[in-house]
Every structure is written in C-alpha cells, then in structure tokens.
Amino acid sequence: MSSFALTLGVVLQAAFAAAPAALQVSTAGSQLQFDPKELTVHAGQAVSLTFVNGASPDSNLDHTWALVAPGKAGEVSAGSAAAGRDQDYVSKSPDVLAHTHLVKPGAHETIHFTAPKTPGDYPYLCTYPAHYPAMTGVLKVVP
Ligand SMILES: [Cu+2]
C-alpha cells in the first residue's frame, strides 16, 4: 500500500470514529420493555439518543431512559424512586451518566452525551418506580 493510501485510511478512520452516533430506543408499545435492549457506541463517541415512549397515550405510563455505571442499575433504581416526581424520578447519583426527563406516553426526548471513555457494558434502565428490572438494557461501549 502506498503511504498516501495508508495516510488516507488513517484519516478516514479518525473521521468515522469522531462521527456522532444517532441512536433511537423506544418502549415496546405499552409493555414495560425497551426496544431494542442492546445498543452499541464507541468509547468517547458523541451520542444523540432519542427515547420514544411508545405506550398508548391513555396508559399513564411515564418512562425515563437512564444510562448508569456498570453494576449500579439496582442502586440507581432505588435512589430514583426516593428522588420523587419533582426530580422526574431520576437519582442525582454520580452513577447516572446520562438521562432523559420523565417522558409521557406518545412523547419523545432527544438527549446528547459523550459515551463513556472506558469500554464495557453499561446498563440503561427506566428509573420510574418499579419499572426496573423489567425495563432495562445494555449500552455496549466498544473501543
Ligand atoms: Cu418506565
């Protein structure tokens, strides 16, 4: 390979790594489930994530989407229930890495955050009281 092609390859790779990830996750209709239950991003990548509450508008099923540190989903769920509706049922714990507000049925919210710099499996959950552990998934952060 010529050094030009090699250089071009490195430049393109860097450009793709820097491109923001546009992710979408919704509820599985009115079920207490996320769809999909697995998402993948690169470590340190800029992410824009749209969470759609696909529950029937007359269901009263408010939801959140929150990304948390590995192993902390249960703890964050409990802390979020204690946080109450005034805080959108989202714990202020530093283990919460990114989150939406409380999203009403039929509504959606787009949030922007930087993916964790350390590769690994990061849980996401709905922090509304008692929706965890049903409403959970994994953000796979890859190098
Ligand atoms: Cu929920």
- pLDDT given at position 127: 98
CATH topology of domain 20-142: Immunoglobulin-like (2.60.40)
DSSP codes, the chain: --HHHHHHHHHHHHHHHHSPEEEEEEESTTSS-EESSEEEEETT-EEEEEEE--S-TTS---B--EEE-TT-HHHHHHHHHHH-GGGTT----TTEEEE---B-TT-EEEEEEEPPSS-EEEEEE--STT-TTTSEEEEEEE-
| Ion ligand 1 residue ranges (Cβ < 5 Å) | 63, 126, 128, 131, 135
Q: Where are the domains of the chain?
A: 20-142
Mean pLDDT calculated for residue range 31-42: 98
Mean pLDDT calculated for residue range 94-107: 98
Distance 21 CA to ligand 1 centre (A): 24
pLDDT in tens, 101-129: 999 999 999 999 999 999 999 999 999 99
Mean pLDDT calculated for residue range 46-64: 96
Report residue 3's pLDDT band, with 50, 70 and 90 as the boundaries.
Answer: low
Distance 122 CA to ligand 1 centre (A): 18
Mean pLDDT calculated for residue range 56-83: 97
- pLDDT given at position 19: 83
Distance 119 CA to ligand 1 centre (A): 26
Report residue 9's pLDDT band, with 50, 70 and 90 as the boundaries.
Answer: low
Report residue 26's pLDDT band, with 50, 70 and 90 as the boundaries.
Answer: very high
Assess whether pLDDT exceeds 90 at residue 33. Answer: yes
Distance 55 CA to ligand 1 centre (A): 10
Distance 139 CA to ligand 1 centre (A): 17
- pLDDT given at position 96: 98
